[in-house]
Chains A and B, each alone.
Chain A
Amino acid sequence: MDPQDDSFDFLFKIILIGDSNVGKTCLVQSFKTSQFCERQQNTIGVDFTVRTLSIEGRRVKMQVWDTAGQERFRTITQSYYRSAHGAMIAYDISRRATFDSLPRWIHELKQFGAANVLTALIGNKRDLEAEREVQFEEACKLAEAKGLLAAVETSARDAWSVEEAFVMMARRLLMQNDTSVADDHTHAVMLRSNSHTVSLTSASSADEKKPCAC
């Protein structure tokens, strides 16, 4: 059961941050097991999950550091930022406050993370459409304004776009480290949320920012 299959071509560390109860642990679990656990315990400190993806014949090991959302743990979780290659900042689309704290998370990441840490915004609980308080465009705008990789909406409950979000991270990190991997544009445009298409990057330009094609 434990990932003793230590053969891999690339190893990426992803830090998963965001306010309390936005579904960080469920996201990781969905990524790891494709299952949703209705009754999830809150995370104390930092949890850890690993899954190896196969991308264009390369074995990419994704180590996900799932952090506690409470402010009090910030000093400790911050020490995990430095070694992260990628960061996913999660918020809950049905709770405005969790979106409003994104700039604080981004700032913190800039402060404690590596300079080139690849960052994506993850709007979770998309299944709660009826209770939506944050429009996807807002997330796109924020991602663009802050120069982040992408904004994605997911539903850990329905395993919707979760895998894709992680694969997108893996792919992007792979591109940075291995030039022979092409930016799979078709994949990128498949990341749809709420009928909006997120284009990760314009195929030709090296521009990191993704326009939000609405």
Chain B
Amino acid sequence: MLRRVSSSSSGKSSTSRRSSSVGFDEFGFALSKKRVRKLQHRCHDYSYPQPNPVKVKELCEFLTYWNGSSFICRNQIERFIRIGIPPAIRGRVWKCLLNIDSLRAASSFDYEACQVEIRRPLVDLGVSEYSIISTIDSLVDTENEISSGQSDLPSADLTLFKQIALDLRRSFPTHRTLMGDRPEAIEGQAKLFRVLTAFARYNPQIGYVQGMSYIAAVLLMILSEEEAFWALVALLEKPKYLSELFDSSMKKIQLQALVFHQLLKHRKPLLFQHLETLGVSSLHFIMQWFLTLFTSLPCWDSVLAIWDLIMLHGLQAVFRTGLTIILLLESRIMNMTEEAAVLPVLLRVPMDVSQHRVLIPALWNTDVQEWEINCMNSLVLEEASGGQDEEKVKKESAKCCTSSLSDGQRDVKPSQKGAKYTSKKEAPGSSAKNVFTRLLKVAQHYILESGKNSTAAKSSPAKKNPALSRLPKARISTSFAQAQSKKYVIQVRTKRSSSRRSQNSIQSGVKEERLPSQDSDGGAAEERCVKEIEERW
């Protein structure tokens, strides 16, 4: 892996002649003076691997055959993402992963027409998107005109425009496309304004929420303006990604914080307990991490690599990244004795942890499955809905906590056995097939274990296998019935069904009668399990 050292971008500097004194690094971030560097919390030493020309060519070729609905394609692209997407091709990859072209083709929304519509009343007020920041005050003055009916700009729109305008220079304020009032930045801010206002038009129920400007700005750094708009639509509306996260109630983000809380509780009970003792609320850092998709990390090569994975796996990859970060900080956090020490490192993740060569390998070695998140999700909903059930859940969770204490560092270690199941060593547990294999293995493991008592289970081979040991724990914790393979069938089913809330009914419904036979006959159960899963998928 070649380590890169930042340099002011010589190739592109011709486009920014006027910024004589400011240099930018290869990703467009201003090389700040030492004095303010710490304040800005930005690293300019990149450590992402140099792309291999052969692989780059392969990737380009592969993208021409891209089919978003093909498992093979997605498998293949994961391999490329793992190797590292070269910056020059990133836009194409994101477009493919987000299915931007088909999204745009399927929608009746006309981006250009929307711009015209937004622009008209602004022009009447003597305001253009290129001067929106400097004219914000005159916009304030027009509020009176609006209320007296002299303008056809609704006052809700005015509030919206004002908020967006305020954030234009506050989203990546040191990036060349947004920094200050250089011509390039004026254009960049105008683009960002247009994309955000268009989205607010496209989805008036969400409108604009702080955090979005960071996401849109990253998209604009990689994609063309209209592509960035559709990418934003995909990210903020598709359930796979961040849908509902920016809803006006902000309920979903609070829910996600609880889900993360549970995930941590089951993966790292000691760390979880420590954070609980210090009174650190997961919502506090989850909000920043999730709503800006980790763009607050100081190392931009890491941010982009994380985004590549998020584009592929969606929200699940967001949890995965969050977990990776907190695990990398684990030893540090465990030594801290107060909330006031913990929060700063979570809100401003230190450079050493954020570096590509540290964070990204750790990210690939930390496995979080979609069904696992779903599982935690139902657990949280369950806890929220019932007081009586809560006690039960707590008991179960406590059981789970003690049982996973012995697992130590398993999360950051690569899954050794996992690689055996699949031909692609680079991506353990990430392909669909791999998930099945694991589910089956777990099911088998549990069937074999069902006769033994729980202490025997603790010393079982599962302990040595990170991939396997994780699955049962999540299961136990959910306080589902003590059924074995049935669980995983249910999980797969629920994953496919749109409503997670129907879980209980599924659970207590159709599948129940099969349980006894599964318990008594492990082999047959496994076979059925395979069949069931294959059917579902």
Residues of B within 8 A of A61 (CB): 340
Residues of B within 8 A of A39 (CB): 40, 169, 173-174, 179
Residues of B within 8 A of A186 (CB): none
Q: Residue A45 at the B interface, CB < 8 A?
A: yes
Residues of B within 8 A of A20 (CB): 163, 166-167, 210
Min CB–CB distance A50 → chain B (angstroms): 4
Chain A residue nearest in CB terms to B210:
A70
Q: Residue A195 at the B interface, CB < 8 A?
A: no
Q: Residue A35 at the B interface, CB < 8 A?
A: yes
Residues of B within 8 A of A21 (CB): 166, 170
In the docked arrangement, what's the CA distance between A41 and B209, Å? 14
B 399-453 contacts with A by CB, 8 A: none
Residues of A within 8 A of B287 (CB): 44-46, 76
A 29-68 contacts with B by CB, 8 A: 29, 33, 35, 37-50, 61, 63, 68
Interface string of B130-152 (1 = CB under 8 A from A): 00000001001000000000000
In the docked arrangement, what's the CA distance between A21 and B173, Å? 14
Once the chains bind, are A2 and B39 in contact (CB under 8 Å)?
no
Once the chains bind, are B39 and A33 in contact (CB under 8 Å)?
yes
Q: Residue A4 at the B interface, CB < 8 A?
A: yes
In the docked arrangement, what's the CA distance between A10 and B170, Å? 35
Residues of A within 8 A of B39 (CB): 29, 33, 35, 37
B 323-358 contacts with A by CB, 8 A: 336-338, 340-341, 343-345, 347
Min CB–CB distance A48 → chain B (angstroms): 4
Min CB–CB distance B88 → chain A (angstroms): 27
In the docked arrangement, what's the CA distance between A95 and B137, Å? 8
Once the chains bind, are B173 and A44 in contact (CB under 8 Å)?
no
Once the chains bind, are A42 and B250 in contact (CB under 8 Å)?
no
Q: Residue B172 at the A interface, CB < 8 A?
A: yes
Once the chains bind, are A41 and B343 in contact (CB under 8 Å)?
no
Once the chains bind, are B250 and A76 in contact (CB under 8 Å)?
yes
Chain B residue nearest in CB terms to A29:
B39
Residues of A within 8 A of B54 (CB): none
Interface string of B208-222 (1 = CB under 8 A from A): 011101100000000
- Given the contacts A41-B172, A95-B140, A63 and B210 also touching, CB distance less than 8 Å: no
- Given the contacts A3-B341, A41-B172, A75 and B213 also touching, CB distance less than 8 Å: no
Residues of A within 8 A of B343 (CB): 48
Once the chains bind, are B171 and A42 in contact (CB under 8 Å)?
yes
Min CB–CB distance A85 → chain B (angstroms): 14
Select one of B163, B292, B337 contacting A44, CB under 8 A: B292
Min CB–CB distance A31 → chain B (angstroms): 13
Once the chains bind, are B173 and A40 in contact (CB under 8 Å)?
yes
Q: Residue B288 at the A interface, CB < 8 A?
A: yes
Interface string of A62-92 (1 = CB under 8 A from B): 0100001010110110000000000000000
Chain A residue nearest in CB terms to B175:
A39
Select one of B167, B179, B249, B284 contacting A45, CB under 8 A: B284
Chain B residue nearest in CB terms to A21:
B166
Q: Residue A97 at the B interface, CB < 8 A?
A: yes
Once the chains bind, are A2 and B288 in contact (CB under 8 Å)?
no
Q: Residue B35 at the A interface, CB < 8 A?
A: yes
- Given the contacts A37-B40, A70-B209, A45 and B288 also touching, CB distance less than 8 Å: yes
Min CB–CB distance A10 → chain B (angstroms): 13
B 170-223 contacts with A by CB, 8 A: 170-174, 179, 209-211, 213-214
Once the chains bind, are A48 and B210 in contact (CB under 8 Å)?
no
Q: Residue B81 at the A interface, CB < 8 A?
A: no
In the docked arrangement, what's the CA distance between A49 and B163, Å? 25
Min CB–CB distance A86 → chain B (angstroms): 16
Residues of B within 8 A of A38 (CB): 173
In the docked arrangement, what's the CA distance between A76 and B255, Å? 12
In the docked arrangement, what's the CA distance between A20 and B140, Å? 14
Q: Residue B291 at the A interface, CB < 8 A?
A: yes
Once the chains bind, are B248 and A72 in contact (CB under 8 Å)?
yes
Min CB–CB distance A82 → chain B (angstroms): 13
Residues of B within 8 A of A73 (CB): 210, 250
Once the chains bind, are B283 and A4 in contact (CB under 8 Å)?
no
Min CB–CB distance B29 → chain A (angstroms): 11
In the docked arrangement, what's the CA distance between A61 and B337, Å? 15
Min CB–CB distance A126 → chain B (angstroms): 18
Q: Residue B254 at the A interface, CB < 8 A?
A: yes
- List 12 additional contacts besides A20-B166, A39-B40, A76-B283; criterion CB under 8 Å: A2-B336, A2-B344, A3-B341, A37-B39, A42-B210, A44-B287, A44-B291, A45-B287, A48-B347, A61-B340, A68-B210, A75-B250
Cβ-closest 8 pairs across A and B: A39-B173, A45-B287, A42-B170, A50-B340, A48-B343, A21-B166, A37-B39, A70-B210
Binding site for A on B (CB under 8 A): 35-36, 39-40, 137, 140, 163, 166-167, 169-174, 179, 209-211, 213-214, 246, 248-250, 253-254, 283-284, 287-288, 291-292, 296, 336-338, 340-341, 343-345, 347
